Structure 1
Amino acid sequence: MTAADAPPIIFVHGTRLSAGQWSPQLAALQEDFRVAAVDLPGHGARSAEPWSLNAATEIIASAVESLDRGPALVVGHSLGGYASLEFARRCPEQLRGLVLAGASASTRGPWAIPYRWAAGLVPRIPAARLTRWNDRLLRRLYSPEVVDATIRAGYAFHTLPDAWGEVLGRFDADAMRHVAAPVLILNGEKDTVFRSGERDFLRAHPRARIELIPRARHLANFDDPEAFADAVRRFALEVA
């Protein structure tokens, strides 16, 4: 099987980030695949748009249609992973395969309590201060070619309460039963929180498998951009 036979690939970013999160993967894959990264409502170029899962799924669906190559492989990270699960439920005919990255933890029950607390705290901190903290952290951990596009696009702190307010309490491994396509659960080895339910997610789907990025954390596509892109490449060829 060759890349020419593979589906297009849509990337969906994580909490507070933007399509810029995927600049390393787009650069690595764009010569062989039709690829696109979306901004979810309230993020990036869509910063002024109100958040909703309905709008998020419509944005993903429009991106699939824009590549004009039939069902797509959708890669969702964290918040984008849960939005991609919702897209898989609502638009099964548009999905060839699903990569869940840092999104295989239940958002129900006690696990959600600290995230509800954080979502309530964020609006109380000035956005300029949060931006400085995030910029410093990313620049300390990663090279400019990995994070410059993310930093330039800014952060969606104002959207975080609404986004997580809708996601928390909504998803667990049962969401996998609504996914008709094959699933790759792609986690950073050290992302202990968001891979906490990966075995439950695996058991809930007959065509799912787990792959770990060694030594990577929650932002696995930043920690090891090449390994992440390679995992997506191999899965795209598998589902071709």
Structure 2
Amino acid sequence: MTEADAASASYAPNPSYATTAPPIVFVHGTRLNAGQWSPQLAALRDDFAVAAVDLPGHGARSEQPWSLAAATEVIASEVDALDRGPALVVGHSLGGYAALEFARSHPDRLRGLVLAGASASTCGAWATPYRWAAGLVPRLPADRLARWNDRMLRRMYPPEVVADTIRSGYAFHTLPDAWGEVIGRFDASAMRHVAAPVLILNGEKDTVFRSGEAEFARAHPEARIELIPGARHLANFDEPDAFTYAVSRFADRLPDAPAAVT
């Protein structure tokens, strides 16, 4: 297996399903990896061509330096690898902001966008939680943070939901650089660069990261908000079936991709 293979998980759809179904690329959140999306990949792979990527500095790409530009190229490469035209990109937290940057830099590769836990401004006073996290993490030993995360995930979620995430490890070393670049860069105005329909999909109890959802939705003519009842920031872990169904329903309603010019 090559490094590129290890850095993503992808599945071709069942050939009996419509060829108009959009491919779906999942982009993980802060410190996590492509394993975050194992419940969604398993549930969707019979209906869609699906993939989950490791961002630079995370998972199988843990040795690669972080940058938003590199993150967008990782997403673009996975869209191209699925070879089914523009994709629905689903980004959680850090991955949501990377997906917004991808939407700006690669509009031709985007068929739809799901922002999960990524509809809060990272500018001005709203960036305080991000600055706090980016400043605290380097002061704590990575092995201690990893043990704490393992215990937390095992206590809160069933093994089939979190096993792949735990197995692939955490990217605490990348967090300061990643959030250092995101802070001050994104607010609702970023939605004006998204040339595709948008679903803002948040956990009902994710009060910090959904704080700007109304402003984000108002800034885009084809954006809507959907909340997952009882879910927190890791909504796809808290309520994997509800999260998957919301993504699937949004994918089914996307307009067909424009025909390729020959």
Coarse TM-score class (shorter-chain normalised): over 0.9
In the TM superposition, what are the counterparts of 1:183-202 in structure 2 within 5 Å? 183-202=198-217
Aligned to 1:44: 59
The 2-side partners of 1:218 and 1:123 are apart by: 22
Aligned to 2:77: 62
Confirm or deny: 8 A CA contact 1:4 1:33 kept in the other structure: no
CA shift, 1:229, in A, is: 0.5
Aligned to 2:179: 164
Letter in 2 for 1:130: L
Aligned to 1:93: 108
What 5-or-longer segments of structure 2 have no aligned partner? 1-16, 257-262
The 1-side partners of 2:132 and 2:208 are apart by: 16
Q: 2:98 aligns with which of 71, 83, 89?
A: 83
The 1-side partners of 2:216 and 2:139 are apart by: 34
Q: Does 1:213 align with 2:228?
A: yes
The 2-side partners of 1:192 and 1:114 are apart by: 12
Letter in 1 for 2:206: D
Runs of 4+ in 1 over 3 A off after TM superposition: none
Aligned to 2:118: 103
Structure 1 length as normaliser, TM-score? Answer: 0.98
The structure with higher relative contact order (CA 8 Å, sep 6+) is 1
Letter in 1 for 2:155: R
How many residue pairs get aligned? The number is 239
Cα deviation per residue 1:189-225 (whole Å; 9 max; x = unaligned)? Answer: 0001111000000100000001111100000000010
Q: For residues 3 and 24 of structure 1, do their structure 2 counterparts lie closer, same or farther at Cα, with a shift above 3 Å needed?
A: farther
Higher relative helix content: 1
In the TM superposition, what are the counterparts of 1:6-17 in structure 2 within 5 Å? 6-17=21-32
The 1-side partners of 2:133 and 2:156 are apart by: 22
Q: For residues 3 and 142 of structure 1, do their structure 2 counterparts lie closer, same or farther at Cα, with a shift above 3 Å needed?
A: farther
The 1-side partners of 2:239 and 2:106 are apart by: 31
Confirm or deny: 8 A CA contact 1:188 1:212 kept in the other structure: yes
Q: 2:188 aligns with which of 173, 176, 199?
A: 173
Identity of paired residues, percent? 80
CA shift, 1:3, in A, is: 5.0
Q: 1:127 aligns with which of 142, 147, 157?
A: 142
Confirm or deny: 8 A CA contact 2:58 2:170 kept in the other structure: yes
Confirm or deny: 8 A CA contact 2:122 2:130 kept in the other structure: no
Q: For residues 3 and 155 of structure 1, do their structure 2 counterparts lie closer, same or farther at Cα, with a shift above 3 Å needed?
A: farther
